[in-house]
Amino acid sequence: MESVLFYIFAAASVAGALLVVFHKNPIASALSLVLTLFSTAVLFIFLLAHFVAAIQILVYAGAIMVLFMFTVMFLNIREESLKFDAQNLPVKLGVLLLILFIFGYFASIGFKKSFSLNHAASLPESFGTVEGVGEVLFKDYLLPFELTSVLIVVAILGVVAIAKRGTD
Amino acid sequence: MLWVEIGISFVKIALVLFVVLTLVAYLTLAERRISAFIQDRLGPNRVGPFGILQPLADGVKFIFKEDIIPDRANKPFYVMAPALSLVTAIVALAVIPIGKGFNTTLFGLLEDPFYVKLQIADVNAGLLFVLAITSLSVYGVVLGGWSSNSKYSLLGGLRAAAQMISYELSLGLSILGVILLAGSLRLNDIVEAQQKIWFAIPQALGFLVFMVSSFAETNRLPFDLPEAEPEIVAGYHTEYSSMKFAMFFMAEYTHMIVASALMVCLFLGGWYPLPFGGWFGIDIERYWYLPPIVFIGKVFFLLFLFIWVRWTIPRFRYDQVMKLGWKVLFPLGVLNIIVTSAVMVFVYK
């Protein structure tokens, strides 16, 4: 049953990711990204990482993508302004072919290796729980974690400064 | 044993769905009766004794109403929006524990007794699950507003998005104090930690911030700017009719139930009947049906509070809502965390 569900949600996340790129309507693209994020969160649950799954939905789907939608709705982008331009067509096709080639390469590797979804036995008891993630984050990776938060604060201050400059 | 587990889970899910949807139907009646009482009217009392069949009549009427889809609306999103808001509201109830649990042999069918938890899923990060799912409920409102192809709907949707994002922050901050005290994100552990004293007392400030924020999150008066009638007709569901409108309505009431249940779990002691002293020696393993009664009683009281507030307090202006969220509740939430963690570190160690 687990592998059936895995394939359903894996397919959903890939389909969502493709729709993000190929759909003409910007709102539909944003929603497809939400679908991808949601399906990836379900895949995290299969890996017993419940905490990461909840955070994934809370931060990406619940906060960041809502802001995206907000912006798209405010700007009210029409579908016509996003038409495909035929310039540099050979280059674009070349890039697409390269991506397909890389994708095919990894897909062939993926199909050769058989993987099992049940590797819970080899993991510690606290794996994926809030306590487990917290221990790792605040003991083993404290410095990178704090530096990242400083980086985010700097980014927020920078955005506020740039936004303020126009109004004064 | 696995099949028994799956079967019991299905029964629990069906039971919760049935109870919640019935409760939602009767909340609409309660809302109308209580508002009538507050305004010194009678309210709907014709359909059945005391009007108790009114929700049934409303439901039948909703189903037979003409379902209008506006011209040039974005049809797939227009249809999806009410479903999305209702589903996200209901799914959040999956981790709410209404009691501890009991042993059963299913009337002698099983050899070993099976322990049934009074909760659909006992998730380690349960509180985060509720927050994550409820944070998705913005999409229903925003999509409904955008896809209707109407300026009132769009304004309502934008307002709803801005308001829900703003108040989600103070909501999350006010919960952190409780998490610090309980030391866990499992809702069961949080309720257990309130055996000595309800968190509403040491976390009075957090409780206040949480309550105001959850009123704003449910888009209820005094924060119902997304659907303020004098300004934008009915906001994001202006163009909706028939059962689709009913689904938005049901989502709003389900959000009320989720918010009340969460408030009971986090601040009002879950299934503990009094603010102090736990169960006073009553064996709740034996009388397992007492905790759910206490829990549901408290939820009912909070639901009454939601309705009471709606018909008592006038609506804010939109800039006042934003100011309250960002300049009052947000700093109060931060202050609450600082004080709580300082007390935890320096007083209790």
Sole residue written with tokens 């999409």? B139
Q: How far apart are CA B148 and CA B69, in angstroms?
A: 8
Contact B139 A27 (CB under 8 A): no
Residue of chain B whose Cα is closest to the Cα of A76: B146
Test the B interface: residue of A19, A57, A77 with most B CBs within 10 Å: A57
Q: How far apart are CA B77 and CA B90, in angstroms?
A: 20
Compute the C-alpha angle B81/B86/B88, nearest 5°: 95
Contact B125 A54 (CB under 8 A): yes
Q: Token pair of A44, please?
A: 């995290």
Q: Min CA distance, B79 vs chain A (Å)?
A: 14
Instruction: State the complex-level ipTM.
Output: 0.76
The residue-averaged pLDDT of B179-197 equals 85
Q: By mean pLDDT, which of B114-118, B185-189, B329-333 is the weakest?
A: B114-118
pTM for the whole structure = 0.82
* DSSP codes joined into one string, A106-157: HHHHHHHS---S--GGGS-TTTTSHHHHHHIIIIITHHHHHHHHHHHHHHHH
Q: Report the share of chain B in percent with pLDDT over 70.
A: 95
* B286-298 per-position pLDDT tens digit: 777 788 888 888 8
CB B190 within 8 A of CB B178: yes
Chain A residues whose beta carbon lies within 8 Å of the beta carbon of residue B139 = 31, 34, 66, 69
Q: Min CA distance, B324 vs chain A (Å)?
A: 20
Chain B residues whose beta carbon lies within 8 Å of the beta carbon of residue A70 = 142, 158, 161-162, 165
Contact A55 B158 (CB under 8 A): no
Sole residue written with tokens 């999956």? B94
Contact A62 B138 (CB under 8 A): yes
Instruction: Give the model's pLDDT for residue A158.
Output: 92
Of the candidates A28, A61, A70, which has its C-beta nearest B136's C-beta?
Answer: A61
In this predicted structure, the answer to whether residue B192 has a pLDDT above a threshold of 60 is yes
Q: How far apart are CA A63 and CA A139, in angstroms?
A: 28
A63 touches chain B (CB under 8 A): yes
Q: How far apart are CA A109 and CA A76, in angstroms?
A: 43
In this predicted structure, the answer to whether residue B1 has a pLDDT above a threshold of 80 is no
Q: Is residue A83 part of a domain?
A: no
Chain B residues whose beta carbon lies within 8 Å of the beta carbon of residue A62 = 131-132, 135-136, 138, 168
Sole residue written with tokens 């042993």? B103
Q: How far apart are CA B72 and CA B94, in angstroms?
A: 37
In this predicted structure, the answer to whether residue B235 has a pLDDT above a threshold of 70 is yes
Instruction: Give the model's pLDDT for residue A151.
Output: 93
Instruction: Give the model's pLDDT for residue A154.
Output: 94
For residue A70, give the H/E element and its range.
Answer: helix A65-75
- List of residues 6+ apart from B301 with CB closer than 8 A: none
A31 touches chain B (CB under 8 A): yes
Contact A57 B133 (CB under 8 A): yes
A62 touches chain B (CB under 8 A): yes
Of the candidates B74, B142, B185, which has its C-beta nearest A69's C-beta?
Answer: B142
- List of residues 6+ apart from B177 with CB closer than 8 A: B199, B203, B205, B206, B336, B337, B340
Instruction: Give the model's pLDDT for residue A122.
Output: 65
Range of the domain at A107: 2-78+88-119+126-167
Select the highest-mean-pLDDT range: A102-111, B160-169, B206-215. B206-215
Q: Is residue A72 part of a domain?
A: yes
Q: How far apart are CA B142 and CA B323, in angstroms?
A: 22
Instruction: Give the model's pLDDT for residue B335.
Output: 92
* DSSP codes joined into one string, B23-65: HHHHHHHHHHHHHHHHTT---S--SSGGGTTHHHHHHHHHHHS
Contact B143 A51 (CB under 8 A): no
Chain A residues whose beta carbon lies within 8 Å of the beta carbon of residue B176 = none
Instruction: Give the model's pLDDT for residue A167.
Output: 66
A49 touches chain B (CB under 8 A): no
Q: What is the rounded average pLDDT for all residues in chain B?
A: 83
A61 touches chain B (CB under 8 A): yes
Q: Is residue A161 part of a domain?
A: yes
Contact B135 A67 (CB under 8 A): no
The residue-averaged pLDDT of B91-102 equals 83
Contact B158 A70 (CB under 8 A): yes
Averaged pLDDT in 10-residue chunks for chain A of 168 residues:
83 88 81 89 84 86 82 68 63 84 76 54 70 84 89 92 78
Test the A interface: residue of B138, B150, B180 with most A CBs within 10 Å: B138
Q: Is residue A65 part of a domain?
A: yes
Q: By mean pLDDT, which of A149-163, B71-85, B270-284, B326-340 is the weakest?
A: B270-284
Residue of chain B whose Cα is closest to the Cα of A30: B139
Number of C-beta neighbours around residue B320 at 10 A: 12
Helix runs in chain B, H state only? 2-38, 54-64, 75-91, 126-135, 137-147, 151-182, 187-192, 204-217, 229-232, 242-266, 290-310, 318-323, 330-343
Instruction: Give the model's pLDDT for residue A89.
Output: 74
Q: Token pair of A160, please?
A: 């506020």
Number of C-beta neighbours around residue A15 at 10 A: 14
Using CA atoms of B123, B129, B131, B136 in order, give the dihedral in degrees to the nearest 10.
-160
* B14-36 per-position pLDDT tens digit: 988 898 888 888 888 888 888 88
Q: Is residue A27 part of a domain?
A: yes
Instruction: Give the model's pLDDT for residue A157.
Output: 93
In this predicted structure, the answer to whether residue B46 has a pLDDT above a threshold of 70 is yes
Measured CB to CB, residues of chain B less than 8 Å from chain A are 74, 77, 123-125, 128-129, 131-133, 135-136, 138-139, 142-143, 146, 154, 157-158, 161-162, 164-165, 168, 184-185
* A95-117 per-position pLDDT tens digit: 888 888 888 877 776 665 555 54
Buried/exposed code over A105-136 (b: 16+ C-beta within 10 A; e: otherwise): eeeeeeeeeeeeeeeeeeeeeeebbbebbeee
Instruction: Give the model's pLDDT for residue A155.
Output: 93
3-state secondary structure at position A56: helix
Q: Is residue A60 part of a domain?
A: yes
Chain A residues whose beta carbon lies within 8 Å of the beta carbon of residue B9 = none
CATH number of the domain that residue A136 is part of? 1.20.120.1200
3-state secondary structure at position A21: helix
The residue-averaged pLDDT of B262-288 equals 79
3-state secondary structure at position B115: strand
| Total tally of structural domains belonging to chain A | 1
CB B204 within 8 A of CB B268: no
